[in-house]
Amino acid sequence: MRAALGPALAHLLLLAAGFGVLWVAGVLREPTPRRMLAAAGLAYLAGVAVVMVVLIALVVIGVPLSLGLFVAVGVLAALPALAGLRRRAAWEPPRVREGLRGLDLEGRVVAGLVMAMVLFGLVGLWTVGVLPLNEFDAWQLWTRKAVMLFYEPHLQEQLFTSRVAYPNMQPDYPLLLPMLEAVQFRAGGRPDTQEAHATTWILFAAAVWALAYLASRTSRPFVWAGVSAGVAALLAPQAISGYADVTVAAFVGLGTLATGLWLEGGRRSDLALAAIMLGGAAATKNEGLVGAAIVFAVAIVAAAVERRRADALAAAAAGVLTLLVAVVPWRLWMSAHDVTGTLSLSDGLSPAYLVDRFDRVWPSVEALTSQLVALPAARIIVALGIAIAIVRLRSLPRLAGFYLAVAVLYFVSLVWAYWISPLGLQFHIATSVSRVVLGLVFLAVVATVHLGERRGATVTGS
């Protein structure tokens, strides 16, 4: 009984925590059942990002991980949502029948598509939780740490420092996904490794849901529903792998979209949401940390170029806060215990080292671009995203420039990672390129929904 109910309750607590986080951030200040349902995917991701980052920080300073600690942090994060629920409108049942009756043809197509996506998500949830965990990186990099955190309330130093006993374990990878899996295991009372697939599937489903919700603010229903459906279908095979790549791509993509919305509308709630999503990205994988740094840096430059000093300072403050909360605790623990990663930053910035390995650059560029057109998950959406950003450069220069700059710099960061990696290039590319490009795919998707067809009147200026 506990094995089935416990994990479900843990995920529901994360959802509730996310609603509290969104209320505090100002994203969902006047909740109604309809709005809460629409924002549930975003709320879940926000809950995961904030609760896991807090748990990581607590464990790093020596607080023992326990189910009670998770519940306490989750309930604390959820409490602010009660303020929104005091309003009478929050309890009025949604008028589903009237709403459906008033739909035009586009609305009916979208409603049908949304229903199909919900069904797809439920079928996935029902089936992936019993897949045996046999993907190498899934158990080696992520679930291994989760199992340890299930049995042990503290981080086991030897696991992260012994390169002989634990080779190629990427000890420097952040702990968001292992912590989430560990919490799920603790809630279920056993380390059920099959459930690792359910964890990444729920994160994926929430990401598609969140994409549709955020995209619905800028694009017409046909576009946000259609593009979200494409993302759902084409990233699903990677989402059941138990890897963190879809999760980090989603966090980076959604954080970039929220930053784009802030650049356009100036709402602080969008910047807060961006910080939460990018904090989640930075706490998931090193690519997420680099992606978050790029998004904030480009946002600061975009604001500074237009002499919007207050906005540049706000973006800088959000970036620093995100770094302090989501990255610094884990990095301090690593530093205190001499944990090092595969990639060396000092090597990566050394001109002699870079020149010596310059022959790795072009094969890396070729491998990444060929994945962007060959990978089923990418297909034509990357080309569409680039084309739309180019088309919008004159009419929406700030926004289009922002998306293009983030995508180009993210691409360059991936090339740089291959350039400085001590691993054999062919091996490194063959084992990772189909996954690391997902961040670029998500960036193309969010550029498409933000810069393409605009909801309401055509926007002609930035």
Q: Does 290 bind another protein (CB under 8 A)?
A: no
- Cα angle, residue 303 at apex, residues 394 and 285 outer, rounded to 5°: 100
Q: Does 32 bind another protein (CB under 8 A)?
A: no
Question: Which of 58, 90, 114, 166 forms a contact with another protein (CB under 8 A)?
Answer: 166
Q: Does 324 bind another protein (CB under 8 A)?
A: no
Q: Does 454 bind another protein (CB under 8 A)?
A: yes
CB 21 to another protein: min, Å: 29
Q: Does 382 bind another protein (CB under 8 A)?
A: yes
Q: Does 229 bind another protein (CB under 8 A)?
A: yes
Task: Provide CB contacts within 8 A for 366, sequence distance 6+.
Answer: none
CB 1 to another protein: min, Å: 17
Count of chain residues binding another protein (CB under 8 A)? 83
Q: Does 4 bind another protein (CB under 8 A)?
A: no
φ, ψ dihedrals at 288, nearest 5°: -65, -40
Q: Does 257 bind another protein (CB under 8 A)?
A: no
CB 405 to another protein: min, Å: 17
CB atoms within 10 A of CB 311: 20
CB 174 to another protein: min, Å: 19
Question: Which of 10, 17, 39, 128 forms a contact with another protein (CB under 8 A)?
Answer: 128
φ, ψ dihedrals at 243, nearest 5°: -90, 170
> Which of 194, 413 has the CB closer to another protein?
194
Q: Does 386 bind another protein (CB under 8 A)?
A: yes
Q: Does 233 bind another protein (CB under 8 A)?
A: yes
Under 8 Å between Cβ of 451 and 392? yes
CB 273 to another protein: min, Å: 22
Q: Does 195 bind another protein (CB under 8 A)?
A: no
b vs e for 201-237, b when ≥16 Cβ sit within 10 Å of the residue's Cβ? bbbbbbbbbbbbbbbbebbbbebbbbbbbbbbebbbe
CA distance 77 to 73: 6
Q: Does 256 bind another protein (CB under 8 A)?
A: no
> Which of 343, 377 has the CB closer to another protein?
377
> Which of 10, 215 has the CB closer to another protein?
215
Q: Helix, strand, or coil here: 73?
A: helix
CA distance 302 to 296: 10
CB 116 to another protein: min, Å: 7
CB atoms within 10 A of CB 168: 12
φ, ψ dihedrals at 432, nearest 5°: -140, -20
Question: Which of 130, 313, 324, 349 forms a contact with another protein (CB under 8 A)?
Answer: 130
Q: Does 3 bind another protein (CB under 8 A)?
A: no
Q: Helix, strand, or coil here: 7?
A: helix
Residues 387-446 that bind another protein (CB under 8 A): 387-388, 390-392, 394-395
Q: Does 346 bind another protein (CB under 8 A)?
A: no
Under 8 Å between Cβ of 28 and 39? yes
Q: Does 278 bind another protein (CB under 8 A)?
A: no
> Which of 354, 387 has the CB closer to another protein?
387
> Which of 95, 394 has the CB closer to another protein?
394
> What DSSP designation does 63 have?
P
CB atoms within 10 A of CB 37: 13
> What DSSP designation does 219 have?
S
Q: Does 369 bind another protein (CB under 8 A)?
A: yes
- Cα angle, residue 34 at apex, residues 49 and 37 outer, rounded to 5°: 30
CA distance 135 to 265: 43
Q: Does 91 bind another protein (CB under 8 A)?
A: no
Written as one letter, the residue type at 378 is A
Question: Applying CB under 8 A, which part among 3-11, 16-24, 165-173, 252-260 lies near another protein?
Answer: 165-173
CB 371 to another protein: min, Å: 10
CA distance 168 to 165: 10
Q: Does 113 bind another protein (CB under 8 A)?
A: yes
* CA 216 to mean position of chain CA atoms: 18
